Amino acid sequence: MQTGPFFDLSSPNQIDYNQKTARRHVIAKDSQNNFFIFSIFTPDSFISGPTLNQIPEFFLKPEIQQIANFTQILTLDGGSASVFYSPNNSLHETTFIGSLLCWK
State percent of the chain over pLDDT 90.
31
Chain segment 32-80, per-residue pLDDT in tens = 999 998 888 888 887 788 999 999 999 999 999 999 999 999 988 765 6
The pLDDT of residue 82 is above 80: no
More confident: 81 or 89: 89
Per-domain residue ranges of the chain: 3-12+22-78
pLDDT of residue 35: 94
CA–CA dist 19, 91 (Å, integer): 23
State pTM to two decimals.
Answer: 0.75
Q: Tell how far CA 25 is from the center of its chain.
A: 3
The pLDDT of residue 20 is above 80: yes
